[in-house]
Structure 1
Amino acid sequence: MHVIDKDTCIGCGACEGTCPVGAISATDDGKFEIGEACVDCGACAGGCPVSAISAE
């Protein structure tokens, strides 16, 4: 599974738009998180402009 580093995340939402299974959602603080529906394809990591997403 991939994880989003909330300290690096700028809240742009690019990752949410690239996830083919809709596993990424916004949190109350304006950042994003990857849920259990993640299929570990890595599309989100490629779509993040600040490289805030990595494999766990």
Structure 2
Amino acid sequence: MGQLSELMQRHWEQRNQDLDNFRANCAKAREEIREINRQMQEQRERFLRESRMR
């Protein structure tokens, strides 16, 4: 029984590690999306300002 529980332990440790990596990747992606949205908003505002000047 010791081998099986050791196997299960490794399985869950790997699964937890995978979940941690996934969460970190999601957080990074959310940060990148926020940055892209910020840049798009700036471009939109610049475009609107410039089009009003014409």
TM-score tier, shorter chain, comes to: under 0.3
Q: Greater Rg, structure 1 or structure 2?
A: 2
Task: Tell me the TM-score normalized by structure 2.
Answer: 0.20
Task: Tell me the TM-score normalized by structure 1.
Answer: 0.19
Determine which structure has the larger strand proportion and give its number.
1
Determine which structure has the larger helix proportion and give its number.
2
Greater relative contact order (Cα < 8 A, sep 6+)? 1
